[in-house]
Amino acid sequence: MKKFSLFIITVGAVAISLTACKKDWLNVDAEDQLSTSDSIYNDNSNATKFTNACYTNLLTWAETSFAWLGTSSITSDDADKGSSSGDNGSDKDQMDAITYTATSGSVSDGWKGNYQGVSNCNVALQQIPLFTTLDASTATQLKGEARFLRAYYYFNLVRMFGNIPLVDTVLNADDAASLAKGNTQVSSSEIYTFIEADLNYAISVLPTVDNQASKDIGRANKGAATALLAKVSLYEKKYQQAYDLTTQIINGAVGTYSLVSDYSQIWREVGENSSESLFEVQAKSGSPTAGVQQYSVTQSIRGGTFAGVTTVVTGWGFNTPSEDLDDSYETGDLRKKATIIHVGDTLFDGVILTSAVNERYNYKAYVSATQETYSGDADLANKNVRILRMGEVYLIHAEAANELGNTATAITDVDKIRTRAGLAGTTAANQSDLRTAIWNERRWELAMEHDRFFDLIRQGRAGTVLRALGKSFVDGKNEVFPIPQSEISASGGALKQNSGY
């Protein structure tokens, strides 16, 4: 059941009157001097709306939709461009082949979407202290949520682009030093240090899921911040830290979580905000509608014919599971049928797919028109996007344990995941074989969940894996995306292009 509505960012009759600010609430850009005597600060509920803007960015096209499919999924061996041969989705053919450039739209949207999120968080962190009668605990929680989300946006940015500007305040267009901050790249290690600081703050102040008010379910909490820091630690190869953090989650020290018994339920409406979930983007149907902009429709069945239930949400057919992913599953793995829709399948709501443009579709993005809340607007479907969940927590714990030499614990973790998938325990017994087994489990457990491309890069095997499938991955270049040329031009050349582009 959905509790937290991201769309309550809407101000209604309350107008923002920050000096020189002419944009609407979702795009507030504080400039020049702030007027703390403005009536907006007399209503403490407005403080929450600033933090809500940090969440609302998750719903946007540039952040979680078409560009994200291109950069995080279609680039990988898990997915193909899909759709029809004549529809390239502007640049999804380039993303698939890894021939994208600094002018590719998916790359540009990825930069803009995440930096807009950073900007919204910086505005919230600037504005919240100006509500002088707001109780301290509420102010602290709102700041913790904003810093969690800022860390999430920067994690996406550093994985995508490497050395990037570190903007931790609201930029002032009239101040040269402030503008220089936005055009000065720092090392990825500095970005990771900043991410860790934000997440450690969030961990220290946010409530556990058990202590959240029901109206706040879906907002960031201590468990979400701990899980994201554990994932960040894995990318930094800080294995002891990743192990310790995931141990806290598994042991219930930061909230009560568990694997759900039925893997296929996770991506249905009934599986939203379950015991498996640590953080997911909250979509909302009804009035007003606040779904992730075209996340589902871009991946939905294209040109299909159906039997059984004939009311079906159809769409563009992009980001289709690849044949390589399809063939990689072990016989009997229940995750395969829960991840991939095949022509001929009967879906959970009785829809029978008899034919379609593509052979396979992403089941994790499927929206039922009859068995789930559906407003009739496919562009803003009621589909939460899972960001952090217990299946991954166990695999982070396993990978960290294995790298620390604790193979017994790693095997126990892997077997928990395999048991739910209907498989026998792993046969891997030494560190090297177990490392490969864990990487395989990550592929099957997290397929189509926007991690595979980045996983291959951090594992140091992206070139080998992707070139074997005909993709033009160049070692020393494609580990990061190009800095968008539009950003380099806007900076007057201050931003420097990544190597090879």
pLDDT in tens, 277-288: 999 999 976 566
Average pLDDT over residues 349-355: 97
Q: Is residue 13 predicted with pLDDT exceeding 80?
A: no
Q: Residue 333's closest CA among 258, 403, 263?
A: 263
With bands split at pLDDT 50, 70 and 90, how would you rate the model's confidence at 255? very high
pLDDT at 285: 62
Return the CATH number of 18-247+481-490, one of 3.90.930.60, 1.25.40.390, 1.10.760.10, 2.60.120.260: 1.25.40.390
Q: Is residue 22 predicted with pLDDT exceeding 90?
A: no
pLDDT at 28: 46
pLDDT at 15: 29
pLDDT at 376: 87
How many whole angstroms separate alpha carbon 129 and alpha carbon 47? 9
Q: Is residue 140 predicted with pLDDT exceeding 70?
A: yes
How many whole angstroms separate alpha carbon 90 and alpha carbon 341? 25
Q: Residue 111's closest CA among 71, 82, 75?
A: 71
pLDDT at 34: 52
Q: Domain residue spans in the chain?
A: 18-247+481-490
Q: Is residue 12 predicted with pLDDT exceeding 60?
A: no
| Count of C-beta atoms within a 10 Å radius of residue 200 | 15
| Three-class DSSP labels, 177-203 | HHHHHHCCEECHHHHHHHHHHHHHHHH
Q: Residue 255's closest CA among 137, 386, 155, 388?
A: 388
Tens of pLDDT, residue by residue over 473-491, are 999 999 999 999 999 999 9
Burial of 55 (0-12, 13-18, 19+ CB in 10 A): buried
pLDDT at 35: 53
* CA dihedral (83, 88, 94, 97) positive or negative: positive
How many whole angstroms separate alpha carbon 406 and alpha carbon 359? 42
Instruction: Detail the DSSP E strand segments found in 223-333.
Output: 277-281, 305-308, 318-321
How many whole angstroms separate alpha carbon 272 and alpha carbon 270? 6
- For residue 321, what are the β-bridge partners? 79
Average pLDDT over residues 290-316: 95
**Which pTM was predicted?**
0.93
With tokens 């109206």, the residue in question is 215
